[in-house]
Amino acid sequence: MSQLKNITGVEALIDSLLEEHIDTIFGYPGGQVLPIYDGLYKVSDRLTHVLARHEQGAVHAAQGYARATGKVGVCIATSGPGATNLITGITDAMIDSTPLVCITGQVPAGLLGSDAFQEADIISMTMPVTKWNFQVTSAAEIPTAIAKAFYIAKSGRPGPVLIDITKNAQVETTDFEYVPCTGIRSYIVKPPLNTDLTGLAVDMINRAERPLIVFGQGVKLSGAESLLIDFAEKGNIPMASTLMGLSCVPSDHPLYMGMLGMHGNVAPNVLTQEADVLIAIGMRFSDRVTGDLKTYAKQAKVIHIDIDPSEINKNVRVQVGIHADVSDALNEMIPGLVRAGREEWFAKFRQKFEEEYGSVIERDVEPTGEALTMGEVVRNIARRVDGRAVVVTDVGQQQMIAARYSYFRSTRSFITSGGLGTMGYGLPAAVGAKVGVPDRQVVLYTGDGGFQMTLQEMGTMMQYGIGVKIVVLNNEFLGMVRQWQQLFFGRRYSHTEMKNPDFVGIARAYGIPGRRVQTREELEAAIGEMFADDGAYLLEVAVEKEGNVFPMVPAGASISDLLFNE
């Protein structure tokens, strides 16, 4: 707890951030945050500010930083368009449970509601997409608001918080006392564990012949990765991950059966429909995982563990709903599990994997055609980094291919926009991830469409020497949209074909070396060249123009109704 007399609102803000042990902020200056930026100038030895090239870049970078480190990401923008440019990233963070504190400037309190220059009601706009937001109109409110913001952002189910600070509150003075927030009345961060329910769940699992664990990002957010593995090993239970849960469990763990979802692996998708007990851990049963809810796992008894009670019975009706922190629940349940053989059950997973390998994986990663495939590029890079890199993706075909064919050895190694599916997320998120974990290799997979939405963030990489490896998988299409047009709209490629610039030339203009690859013979040497360079690098790979991502569960279909080709 710190106490100071008669300091400005800006000084109170900066001291509050330092009290929260914040050392990195992503942002973009403007008129209504000039006092804050003047304050940041004076503490540059203690607070690093990373200048993005667009406010959306700043919020996505803060997301990448938070996802890679497990800390709260912080971003700052001015009022009006600066603040509204944060909204996409805030919404993305809300649905993906990413802890953020977003600070915006605002016109002086006396001008609120007058349509002053660059005034926008950012509080009303962000209310549906934040865990909490608050407008500060006096300097005295700042310490309490910041303490509460960080507590809310990182506790329970994490998410974004926005604090809007009027210009007068920044410059007027106040006595400063910082008291960290440790609780809010009626806000239950860690619900008490109902041991009757965990006991019932354990008994149900022990009696199961075909149990399946389906886990999501809640495992990471709880820090329960090792507990999840212990849980699966104790009961000898197969595990499958959602997109957001990837990297919680090492890819080569013998009980890990792959990824669920629209473009997930065959075995976990199909065998969800045969499981007699489904154990959902820190995941939300999104439509991309369940497909048609009318046919989803109707034969299974469902156990759902989640810290957010609104997720339990929201989409899928469950027999046992455990409202708890994942770590608490697993710690309680592990001792009671009894190991079972389940050889026939595991044999089914092996059989389905062989079917998928022969029908999809082989042609993706070991193609016989002349054109390069996204799968072989990702698989070659995965072998090179040996599962030790942080993989960041944009949204689209490259996202799904990277999820399918990357290897992971440690947690927090896969960062993507899951629920909102934000194109342009990849590059700034990779920048934030690299800032957060500078000693780890960060590899970005992006498409020619998503890359062009935020490629200006290469300027941030140039200014701060941020060594992200950028892999542009260029098929000269908005690939995922084109795939849907091919499969469901009679190949009417309406406004999805793209004429692209010289990506390597653009990267070089930002001081980033690069290379374009068009043939299989060039690929290995180009990958070697990329990783031989200690800094940033852009590798553009011309891949097959009409390549598709399979298997695929069509929207609204049962998860067992998979497409394997067009």
Mean pLDDT value across residues 278-283: 98
> Which residues have C-beta within 8 Å of that of residue 457, sequence separation ≥ 6?
52, 53, 54, 57, 61, 427, 428, 431
What is the b/e burial string over 29-55, where b = at least 16 CB atoms within 10 angstroms of the residue's CB? bbebbbbbbebbeeeeeebebbebbbb
Q: Does residue 3 have a pLDDT over 80? A: no
Q: Give the pair of three-digit tokens for residue 106.
A: 């605002």
HSE at residue 257, side-chain half, CA atoms within 13 A, is: 30
Comparing 5-9, 121-125, 309-313, the range with the smallest average pLDDT is: 5-9
Q: Which tens digits make up the pLDDT trace of 155-176?
A: 999 999 999 999 999 999 999 9
Mean pLDDT value across residues 13-41: 98
Q: What integer pLDDT is reported at residue 566 of this predicted model?
A: 75
Q: Does residue 553 have a pLDDT over 80? A: yes
**What's the CA gap between 329 and 305, in Å, rounded?**
7
Mean pLDDT value across residues 201-208: 98
Q: What integer pLDDT is reported at residue 430 of this predicted model?
A: 99
Whole-angstrom CA distances from 241 to 59, 215, 232, 261 are 27, 5, 13, 9
Q: At what angle do helices 479-488 and 397-405 cross, to 10 degrees?
A: 100
**What's the CA gap between 210 and 12, in Å, rounded?**
57
Cβ-contact 282, 306 below 8 angstroms: yes
Q: Which residues are identified as catalytic?
A: 55, 117-118, 167, 480
**pTM exceeds 0.85 for this model:** yes
Q: What integer pLDDT is reported at residue 21 of this predicted model?
A: 97
Name the one residue in this structure whose structure tokens are 């608490």.
Answer: 328
Mean pLDDT value across residues 192-207: 98
Among residues 136, 145, 12, the alpha carbon closest in space to that of 4 is found at: 12
**What's the CA gap between 200 and 311, in Å, rounded?**
20
> Which residues have C-beta within 8 Å of that of residue 245, sequence separation ≥ 6?
215, 216, 217, 219, 220, 282, 283
Phi then psi dihedrals of residue 191, to 5 deg:
-65, 150
Written as one letter, the residue type at 222 is: S
Cβ-contact 471, 448 below 8 angstroms: no
| Consecutive H or E run containing 51 | strand 48-51
Q: What integer pLDDT is reported at residue 565 of this predicted model?
A: 86
Whole-angstrom CA distances from 313 to 189, 229, 284, 319, 420 are 20, 25, 10, 9, 21
Q: Which tens digits make up the pLDDT trace of 207-236?
A: 999 999 999 999 999 999 999 999 999 999
Written as one letter, the residue type at 364 is: D
Q: What integer pLDDT is reported at residue 1 of this predicted model?
A: 58
Q: Which tens digits make up the pLDDT trace of 446-488?
A: 999 999 999 999 999 999 999 999 999 999 999 999 999 999 9
Q: Exposed/middle/buried for 131, CB within 10 Å: 0-12, 13-18, 19+? A: buried
Mean pLDDT value across residues 127-149: 98
- What percentage of the chain exceeds 90 in pLDDT? 98
Q: What integer pLDDT is reported at residue 504 of this predicted model?
A: 98
Average pLDDT, the chain: 97
Q: Which tens digits make up the pLDDT trace of 257-278?
A: 999 999 999 999 999 999 999 9
**What's the CA gap between 97 and 221, in Å, rounded?**
9
Q: Does residue 543 have a pLDDT over 70? A: yes
Whole-angstrom CA distances from 466 to 325, 336, 458, 516 are 35, 48, 9, 21
Cβ-contact 435, 58 below 8 angstroms: no
